[in-house]
Structure 1
Amino acid sequence: MSQVLDTPPPPAATAPDAADPAALAARYGLTVSGARPSLAEYVRQLWQRRHFITAFSTAKLTAQYSQAKLGQVWQVATPLLNAAVYYFIFGVLMGTSKGVPDFVPFLVTGVFVWTFTQSSVMAGTRAISGSLGLVRALHFPRAALPVSYCLQQLQQLLFSMCALLVILLCFGIPPAASWLLVIPVLFLQFAFNTGLALIMARIGAHTPDIAQLMPFLLRTWMYLSGVMWSLDHLIGDKDLPHLVLVLLRANPAAVYIDLMRFALIDSFTASQLPPHVWACAAGWALLVGVGGFLYFWKAEETYGRG
């Protein structure tokens, strides 16, 4: 009897998948939470949420000035006030308006187009780190956040463009067929801005301190982009290395600003555009737009972790 009681029971039969969690998960259709989907599936999921992206961007734009008494008027007033400050400092005090026909339309166009890029980059930098509650609570393609922020800035620019058209008419610049070029320019710039915002969103998600550094980098980029002055006049009488000239003329912010000026301002002629400007604008949009999307997608499963 003692021997019977002391004999251990035979081991239970082990289930075929018990020792292999991956096989067990596959058997019951379980997947890793937040796993990165394939690129094609990711694009499909993003397209399915296009209505969320547009609604989110519109809501953010509406709420941006909801506490101000003037409300949405600030959407136009803010870039106009920036242009007025730049005109006083650079146009009047520093004399950069000399030799630049239609300097006010020239300046306002540069400020509006640059603000679109600047705001998109800053919003993209904080897209993930500033929305951790949303990222951790809901499952959706994280690229929807940077894209929606860039769409918000595009809507902001369209409001500003209405004021710009009034300024053009007030300074005697009549409507022309070249104004239709604004559409492809905005499309290319939006693709470029979105790709750049996606790149900064991934960097900002893992290194939040980059948001503190970006204003200084963007200010330097602005001064190199001919927002307040003509790059053609600035570098025309200086003996700069050829590589520096090529980099200044291929600067994507300057390319989109110059194309917008060419489309809207009669006195800004094709001779003031960099060589192969349309190819350069399309190349930047394709390189940064597609490259930024792939760069962001590669880290999809890491957003909101930690």
Structure 2
Amino acid sequence: MSQVLHTPPPAPAAAEDDPAALAAHHGLSVSGARPTLSAYLRELWARRHFITAFATAKLTAQYSQAKLGQVWQVATPLLNAAVYYFIFGVLLGTSRGVSDYIPFLVTGVFIWTFTQSSIMAGTRAISGNLGLVRALHFPRAALPISFALQQLQQLLFSMAALVVILLCFGVMPAASWALAVPVLVLQFVFNAGVSMVVARMGAKTPDIAQLMPFLLRTWMYVSGVMWSIDATLKHSSMPHVVKTLLEINPAAVYIDLMRFALIDSFKAHQLPHHVWAYALGWALLAGVGGFVYFWKAEERYGRG
């Protein structure tokens, strides 16, 4: 019996001088080419179990070498809150005029730490995992999203300590505590979006990771973590544009919404107008914008 070998027809003469046309003629495609946005979303959804498992593994391994282990997940933000209380609440007196200052401060520190840690982890999401990026084919957005999810899991551990602190200072559970859920969802989307932006920047310029702590520290000081934006602006002669920027600052928006949800003495009049619209707008802007920005460089991650 004879065996017939099927070979593609000879390429047109014009294609011989055009590598792209020649590759298309033989049914070849670029390795690691960026998929369409809809296809990318489907690939990312298909890897949702990997994202969750990767985040959990990272969280478990984070303190594996420490003797106290996972205790540091709660101890670290509590120690930060204690330092900030001594410096700002005692020495600088920012606690004056702020009801339930310790719950106010601890809530601010925990919620801010969620954003800060997500962004810092995002800067190294690609550059710190080049072996994984180069060895396996998967949507690279899974990495910054998984790091943001890791920080959300860590925050949930810390929230248990926050509840104990609230109870110790006489803040009783209320129906408003349910508002913490949509606040955390919106903040997670915001954090993941910003993480994707800095992940792309950090993949191209690793020095971003060295600059980011200074930028985040400055952002923290203007976000009302240790002081009340509302109380300060009432007696301030700052230009209107500065007051507006302080009020709509996304970190401050999510911190104030969480305080409003958990602390009885933090009232609605202390929130900026249209605060939920700001929270949703920042989440959509960062989440959608950051995702598209990251996707546009998909084929370049891990190369060069």
TM range (shorter): over 0.9
SS in 2 for 1:239: coil
1:8 maps to which residue? none
1:278 maps to which residue? 276
1:235 deviates by 2.2
1:119 maps to which residue? 117
SS in 2 for 1:283: helix
1:29 deviates by 3.4
Counterparts of residues 185-196 of structure 1 (less than 5 Å): 185-196=183-194
1:54 deviates by 0.3
Q: Per-residue displacement from partner, 1:230-273 (whole Å, max 9, x unpaired)?
A: 01122221111111111010000000000000000000000000
Counterparts of residues 15-26 of structure 1 (less than 5 Å): 15-16=10-11, 19=16, 20-26=18-24
Amino acid in the other structure paired with 1:81: L
In structure 1, stretches of 5+ residues that fail to align are 1-13
1:88 to 82, 86, 89: 86
Amino acid in the other structure paired with 1:214: M
1:141 aligns with 2:136: no
Amino acid in the other structure paired with 2:11: P
1:27 deviates by 4.5
1:171 to 166, 169, 172: 169
Q: Per-residue displacement from partner, 1:105-154 (whole Å, max 9, x unpaired)?
A: 00000000000000001000110111111111111111000000000000
Contact 2:200–2:297 (Cα < 8 Å) also in 1: yes
1:128 maps to which residue? 126
Distance in structure 1 (CA, Å) of the matches to 2:31 and 2:164? 52
Amino acid in the other structure paired with 2:146: S
Alpha carbon RMSD of aligned pairs, Å?
1.2
Amino acid in the other structure paired with 2:273: P
Aligned length in residues = 293
2:155 maps to which residue? 157
Distance in structure 1 (CA, Å) of the matches to 2:93 and 2:240? 27
Distance in structure 1 (CA, Å) of the matches to 2:204 and 2:234? 42
Amino acid in the other structure paired with 1:15: P
Counterparts of residues 156-235 of structure 1 (less than 5 Å): 156-235=154-233
Contact 2:11–2:25 (Cα < 8 Å) also in 1: no
1:289 to 280, 287, 290: 287
1:23 deviates by 4.2
2:238 maps to which residue? 240
1:39 to 37, 42, 58: 37
1:28 deviates by 4.4
1:110 aligns with 2:108: yes
SS in 1 for 2:27: coil
1:95 deviates by 0.9
TM-score normalized with structure 2 length: 0.94
2:76 maps to which residue? 78
> Which deviates more, 26-35 or 146-155?
26-35
1:26 deviates by 3.2
Amino acid in the other structure paired with 1:36: R
Q: Per-residue displacement from partner, 1:159-217 (whole Å, max 9, x unpaired)?
A: 00010001111111110000000000000000000000000001111111111111111
Distance in structure 2 (CA, Å) of the matches to 1:216 and 1:202? 19
1:16 deviates by 2.0
Distance in structure 2 (CA, Å) of the matches to 1:262 and 1:205? 38
1:83 deviates by 0.5
1:221 deviates by 0.3
1:3 maps to which residue? none
1:15 deviates by 2.5
1:25 deviates by 3.1
Distance in structure 1 (CA, Å) of the matches to 2:28 and 2:111? 47
SS in 2 for 1:40: helix
